[in-house]
Amino acid sequence: MAHGQTAPGILAGRLSSEEIETNFSDLHPPYAPHEAAVAADRCYFCHDAPCVTACPTDIDIPLFIRQIQAGNPEGAAETILSQNILGGMCARVCPTETLCEEVCVREVAEGKPVEIGRLQRFATDVLMEAGTHPFVRAAETGKRIAVVGAGPAGLACAHRLAMLGHQVTIYDANPKPGGLNEYGIAAYKATNDFAQAEVDWLLKIGGISVECDVALGDGGLTLEGLRGEFDAVFLAIGLAGVNALRAQGEDKPGVHHAVDFIADVRQADDLLKHPVGRHVVVIGGGMTAIDAAVKSKLLGAEHVTVAYRRGASAMGASKFEQDLATSKGVKLMFNVQPKQVHGEDVATEIELEYTATVDGALQGTGETVRLPADQVLKAIGQRLEGVPDALHLNGNKIAVIGAGRTSVEGVWAGGDCAAGGEDLTVTAVAEGRDAAMDIDATLRA
Amino acid sequence: MADLTTDFLGITSPNPFWLASAPPTDKEYNVRRAFEAGWGGVVWKTLGAEGPPVVNVNGPRYGAIYGADRRLLGLNNIELITDRPLEVNLEEMARVKSDYPDRALIASIMVPCEEGAWKEILPRVAETGADGIELNFGCPHGMSERGMGSAVGQVPEYIEMVTRWCKTYYDKPVIVKLTPNITDIRKPAAAAKNGGADAVSLINTINSITSVNLDTMSPEPSIDGKGSHGGYCGPAVKPIAMSMVSEIARNPETHGLPISGIGGITTWRDAAEFISLGCGNVQVCTAAMTYGFKIVEEMATGLSKWMDEKGYTNVRDFVGQAVPNVTDWQYLNLNYIAKAKIDQDQCIKCGRCYAACEDTSHQAISMSADRVFEVIDEECVACNLCVDVCPVEGCITMEQMQPGTVDPRTGKRVEEEYANWTMHPNNPMANAAE
Ligand SMILES: Cc1cc2nc3c(=O)[nH]c(=O)nc-3n(C[C@H](O)[C@H](O)[C@H](O)COP(=O)(O)OP(=O)(O)OC[C@H]3O[C@@H](n4cnc5c(N)ncnc54)[C@H](O)[C@@H]3O)c2cc1C
Ligand SMILES: Cc1cc2nc3c(=O)[nH]c(=O)nc-3n(C[C@H](O)[C@H](O)[C@H](O)COP(=O)(O)O)c2cc1C
Ligand code: SF4
Ligand code: SF4
Ligand code: SF4
């Protein structure tokens, strides 16, 4: 603990190795078998269960919980994975409080849902620890499909296509597959390198080759080239760009993109050596802002503030995520927007302006406040980048109809890069899977 | 607080809760602690004849079935009668009884079906100062193969004969404990009465196999790869026991014969139900073996509070109160018509009532797109299945249709008069329609 929490500047080693280890341990520790049995017993096996409707991948939740009750966690895992091949990651990262668990009849009745996410994790962990892959490929079809982007959407699509007998090549610009599962999701949600373990397990189906460090665009792959070489193309490139802050002093050292900061933390070999500011201010109100803020705090920042330009209820991050942040000591500040980053050579302070909504439009009130800030993390949204020009957009995302069909024949898109659906891991999986089914139907027609 | 003091066959105890003859009452140490915990009486673990005691298995002797959260619902055992020498048990009984004169202490006995054996043991039991004896005609395993226990309990003539010997050689109350492993419980009860028994107690355990180990293909509890049927008890057997108790209570031949109720009693409410069906007191085993002696506090306070609410001042006040309402199916009022009704404020929209009624009953519950569940009176036969499967107690109720209204299912007017199957036109044996 060379520096402690109060040393100014962006420094590594603010906490002891024990503190770091505790801080980055599992957010929701896995159930022991007895806990799983007790939790599973609470499920009522509802008819046409509302939780299933709320799950973007339509997992048969009452069935898999009943399989756990009956001592068949492997069977439960198969029920989950047959709908959602990344059921292991989803069990860890789904905001269940706004999905399946929000509508669980026991949440509605008692304010205490069946803990579906943790039960899902219990079942999938059992299967994945056994190392078995329960799915087999159908007879080879001779069709070849290119998937661009190895995030949840791309992986889910590739797995389903391979299962249906097609050959799949996945290209990804990053050195490792996984997309935001690997570079984005909070470390305390996917401990023990789970993202890579899951990718390895998924690829056991066979018929999928993964080529990393290969990008679409920028002199690399072209859409026309892919269309020529493959029978179909699935684009799952996520949101690779980041929005600009448009505040003075944004270019000063000490100001970073939150997604870069998060990716660095996820990729760090030794978190003890990972630098963080003493006073961290995160700009934004989504899951990324919360993750960046919590990570800063867990790394040992003395003060961490999330500055959001609207009120708490407008925040993209759920109540659960907000509470998580405050429970870790993060301060949430509402109705403020960044005006200027101050500092001689490096950032030392941030000036925020209060906001108010006048006639439906958000405006600065003129009143400002200055906070010490040796590190400023910008989390004001990611945006689509590197889309081939041929594709029509809907707003700022790729326009799709049905199960991910784009405006270009033979090209599908899904996940964060495609219009529609929330930007969530589970939604990306659903869209990848459904696109695969549509591609298969089209190729067989 | 209602006074729970109970007089059963002239034996008083501070409450109607006795521990049944079983491991909880197998020795002085246990019984003293049970009395300190507040139990009103004990039936000592069954004594055998003089000589080398029986031996128990040295592997597991219990099996179980569970409800949610591993709540024990049924227990089975392959234990025998006491495996300690007769002399030791008798000495301990005498000591405990003299230290706890206000508590009931009953000796349970199982010796061979020979007059000499009973003639020999009874005076020795009498010397301990025990308040009475209970004849174990119920044990379904181990002892029955030796011509004792349920082997006797299944033959009414033997019951009558042995009971008579006991009444001859012993002058305090004689309770005959009945086995449920018999088709008609009224027969052994009547035999006991004919032999002069002061009371019957029931039920003993039910022949059972609780589970099979699917790896070893052995029934559980497994002893070196083999299992044997054992005696089933615990909450799961309560309905069977209560039915048997009620049969004895309402049979004209045995009506009025004192009954000590046993079988799955776990809470004050269970006890009150047995008493209402004609029991003068109750005996408990599995609940104590599951949770320890302390449960008697819940039983005593719960029963007392309920009695206060109902204005009963003595347990005697409600013994058998439910017996007149136990009847045969053919006498049930067919003009009593009810419909299920769902309280929408309590409904949590799980849809279980719908699945149950739609798949397995009368398609009498509708489900709307926004998950509102409603009873279709035109279809509802009031079977009660939805009430039974609904996870929210009191959410679905059975509402009686008032006489004069029309049952939308049959289109018929609800009649005020009582009418049962014996009078029904569809009954080929109906009394000539008047
Ligand atoms: C910090 C953060 C935290 C989050 N936390 C959660 C959470 O807790 N729960 C939750 O459900 N969701 C969370 N999300 C959202 C979730 O991660 C995304 O919705 C999900 O990963 C989208 O999957 P995807 O496959 O569409 O895209 P991505 O996961 O973004 O994957 C896209 C892939 O495409 C590759 N790629 C991009 N451009 C190119 C190109 N031109 N050529 C080749 N490859 C390219 C990228 O390298 C990447 O591997 C979080 C997001 C962030 C940023
Ligand atoms: C409502 C109901 C009605 C039944 N009717 C009959 C019947 O008419 N004939 C019969 O042989 N068994 C009947 N049974 C008994 C069942 O066939 C079965 O033996 C019993 O329920 C035990 O099995 P289970 O508890 O595993 O369901 C009935 C059971 C129920 C619950
Ligand atoms: S995938 Fe996510 S939303 Fe669906 S059941 Fe699992 S945890 Fe819930
Ligand atoms: S809503 Fe809740 S109780 Fe009902 S099936 Fe889903 S998890 Fe089980
Ligand atoms: S079973 Fe009960 S709680 Fe569930 S839908 Fe039916 S009435 Fe409502």
| A418 contacts: CB under 8 Å, gap ≥ 6 | A153, A235, A397, A398, A400, A404, A431
**CA dihedral in degrees (A227, A230, A232, A238; nearest 10)?**
-80
Handedness of CA A249, A253, A256, A260 (dihedral sign): positive
Question: In angstroms, rounded to a whole number, what is the distance separating the alpha carbons of residues A127 and A144?
Answer: 30
Q: How far is A58 from chain B (nearest CA, A)?
A: 17
Q: Which two tokens stand for residue B186?
A: 């009224």
- Write the residue with the smallest CA distance to atom 38 of ligand 1: A237
Mutating which of B348, B372, B390 best tests the A interface, going by the most A Cβ atoms within 10 A? B348
End-to-end Cα spacing for chain B: 53
Q: Specify whether the CB–CB gap between A130 and A203 falls below 8 A.
A: no
Report pLDDT for B113.
87
CB pair distance less than 8 Å for B367 and A37: no
Q: Which two tokens stand for residue A69?
A: 């009750």
Cα A383-A385-A386 angle, rounded to 5 deg: 165
Q: Which of B68, B349, B367 sits opposite A105 (nearest CB)?
A: B349
Q: How do strand B206-208 and strand B199-202 relate by DSSP bridges?
A: unpaired
* Alpha carbon of A441 to ligand 3 centroid (Å): 26
Backbone angles phi, psi at A284, to 5 degrees: 140, 175
Handedness of CA B230, B31, B127, B169 (dihedral sign): negative
Q: Which residues line ligand 3 (CB under 6 A)?
A: A 55, 57, 59, 61, 84, 90-91, 94, 96, 99-100, 116-117, 120, 426
Report pLDDT for B144.
66
Q: Which two tokens stand for residue A74?
A: 């492997």
SS (H, E, C) A285-352: CCHHHHHHHHHHHHHCCCEEEEECCCCHHHCCCCHHHHHHHHHCCCEEECCEEEEEEECCCCCCEEEE
- Write the residue with the smallest CA distance to atom 6 of ligand 5: B353
Q: Which two tokens stand for residue A174?
A: 């990053």
Q: Which of B70, B352, B391 sits opposite A47 (nearest CB)?
A: B352
Q: How do strand A279-283 and strand A303-307 relate by DSSP bridges?
A: parallel
Interface residues on B facing A, Cβ-Cβ cutoff 8 A: 68-70, 348-352, 354-355, 367, 371, 391-392
* Alpha carbon of A105 to ligand 4 centroid (Å): 6
Q: Specify whether the CB–CB gap between B100 and B39 falls below 8 A.
A: no
HSE of A426, CA atoms in CB hemisphere, 13 A: 23
Question: In angstroms, rounded to a whole number, what is the distance separating the alpha carbons of residues B128 and B90?
Answer: 6
Question: In angstroms, rounded to a whole number, what is the distance separating the alpha carbons of residues B6 and A247?
Answer: 86
Report pLDDT for B143.
64
CB pair distance less than 8 Å for A49 and B351: yes
CB pair distance less than 8 Å for B348 and A106: yes
* Alpha carbon of B286 to ligand 2 centroid (Å): 27
Peptide bond into B203 cis (omega under 30): yes
Q: Specify whether the CB–CB gap between A217 and A240 falls below 8 A.
A: no
Question: In angstroms, rounded to a whole number, what is the distance separating the alpha carbons of residues B153 and B182?
Answer: 9
Query: Which residues in chain B are contacts of A45 at CB distance < 8 A?
Result: 352
Q: Specify whether the CB–CB gap between A195 and A167 falls below 8 A.
A: no
- CA–CA distances in Å: residue A192 to residues A183, B112, B375: 14, 68, 52
CB pair distance less than 8 Å for A41 and B68: yes
User: Residue B306: is its pLDDT beyond 50?
Assistant: yes
Q: Specify whether the CB–CB gap between B132 and B258 falls below 8 A.
A: no
Which atom of ligand 4 lies closest to the CA of A107?
A: 2
Report pLDDT for B142.
63
Amino acid at B145: E
Q: Specify whether the CB–CB gap between A102 and A48 falls below 8 A.
A: no
Report pLDDT for A188.
86
Cα B179-B183-B188 angle, rounded to 5 deg: 50
HSE of A119, CA atoms in CB hemisphere, 13 A: 33
Per-residue confidence at B58, pLDDT binned at 50, 70, 90? Answer: confident
| B290 contacts: CB under 8 Å, gap ≥ 6 | B72, B75, B234
On the 0-12 / 13-18 / 19+ scale of CB atoms within 10 A, A193 is exposed
Per-residue confidence at B433, pLDDT binned at 50, 70, 90? Answer: very low
CB pair distance less than 8 Å for A45 and B354: no
- CA–CA distances in Å: residue B231 to residues A39, B48, B286: 31, 19, 12
Q: How far is A122 from chain B (nearest CA, A)?
A: 17
Q: Specify whether the CB–CB gap between B392 and B347 falls below 8 A.
A: yes
- Crossing angle for the helix pair B86-99 and B115-127, nearest 10 degrees? 40
A39 lines ligand 4 (CB under 6 A): no
A105 lines ligand 4 (CB under 6 A): yes
Catalytic residue set of B: 139
Question: In angstroms, rounded to a whole number, what is the distance separating the alpha carbons of residues B233 and B231?
Answer: 7
Beta bridge partners of A221: A216
* A50 vs B: CB within 8 A: yes
Q: How do strand A375-378 and strand A279-283 relate by DSSP bridges?
A: parallel
Report pLDDT for B149.
67
Query: Which residues in chain B are contacts of A106 at CB distance < 8 A?
Result: 348
* Alpha carbon of A237 to ligand 1 centroid (Å): 8
Q: What is the DSSP letter of B352?
A: H
Q: By three-state DSSP, how is residue A147 classified?
A: strand
Neighbours of B432 (CB within 10 A): 5
- CA–CA distances in Å: residue B270 to residues B21, B234, B262, B277, B303: 19, 12, 10, 11, 10
Report pLDDT for B33.
98
Q: Which two tokens stand for residue B408?
A: 């939308």
Q: What is the DSSP letter of B203?
A: -
Which stretch of DSSP H or E encloses residue A283?
strand A279-283
Q: Which residues line ligand 1 (CB under 6 A)?
A: A 93-95, 148-154, 171-174, 179-180, 184-185, 189, 215-217, 236-238, 240, 259, 262, 287-288, 291, 386, 415-417, 423-426, 428
**R_g over Cα of chain A:** 23
Question: In angstroms, rounded to a whole number, what is the distance separating the alpha carbons of residues B286 and B218?
Answer: 24
Report pLDDT for B2.
86
H helices present in B259-326, as ranges: 268-276, 286-291, 295-310
Neighbours of B139 (CB within 10 A): 27
On the 0-12 / 13-18 / 19+ scale of CB atoms within 10 A, A315 is buried
CB burial readout B105-135, b (16+ within 10 A) else e: bbbbbbbebeeebbeebbeebeebebbbbbb
A62 lines ligand 4 (CB under 6 A): yes
Handedness of CA B217, B223, B224, B226 (dihedral sign): negative
* Alpha carbon of A114 to ligand 5 centroid (Å): 17
Instruction: Report residue A282 CA to chain centroid gap.
Output: 18
Q: How far is A104 from chain B (nearest CA, A)?
A: 9
Report pLDDT for A77.
97
Instruction: Report residue A292 CA to chain centroid gap.
Output: 13
Q: Which two tokens stand for residue B196?
A: 């002069």
Per-residue confidence at B434, pLDDT binned at 50, 70, 90? Answer: very low
Q: For residue range B185-236, what is the model confidence (pLDDT) as tens digits?
A: 999 999 999 999 999 999 999 999 999 999 999 999 999 999 998 999 999 9
- CA–CA distances in Å: residue A175 to residues A183, A195, B266: 11, 14, 64
- Write the residue with the smallest CA distance to atom 8 of ligand 5: B347
Q: How do strand B199-202 and strand B174-177 relate by DSSP bridges?
A: parallel
Q: By three-state DSSP, how is residue A367 classified?
A: strand
Q: Specify whether the CB–CB gap between B257 and B189 falls below 8 A.
A: yes
Amino acid at A51: C
- Write the residue with the smallest CA distance to atom 8 of ligand 4: A43
* A32 vs B: CB within 8 A: no
With the most atoms of ligand 3 within 8 angstroms of its CB, the residue from A84, A102, A320 to mutate is A84
Report pLDDT for A229.
97
Which stretch of DSSP H or E encloses residue A242?
strand A241-242
Q: How far is A45 from chain B (nearest CA, A)?
A: 8
Nearest to A436 by CA among A142, A259, A236: A236
Question: In angstroms, rounded to a whole number, what is the distance separating the alpha carbons of residues B275 and B268?
Answer: 10
Neighbours of B98 (CB within 10 A): 11
Q: How far is B68 from chain A (nearest CA, A)?
A: 5
Q: By three-state DSSP, how is residue B238 classified?
A: helix
B232 lines ligand 5 (CB under 6 A): no
B64 lines ligand 5 (CB under 6 A): no
Per-residue pLDDT of chain A in tens (445 residues, 90 and over written 9)? 468 889 888 988 899 989 988 888 888 889 999 999 999 999 999 999 999 999 999 999 999 999 999 999 999 999 999 999 999 999 999 999 999 999 999 999 999 999 999 999 999 999 999 999 999 999 999 999 999 999 999 999 999 999 999 999 999 999 999 999 999 988 888 888 999 999 999 999 999 999 999 999 988 899 999 999 999 999 999 999 988 888 888 899 999 999 999 999 999 888 888 899 999 999 999 999 999 999 999 999 999 999 999 999 999 888 889 999 999 999 999 999 999 999 999 999 999 999 999 888 999 999 999 999 999 999 998 999 989 999 999 999 999 999 999 999 999 999 999 999 899 999 999 999 999 999 999 999 9
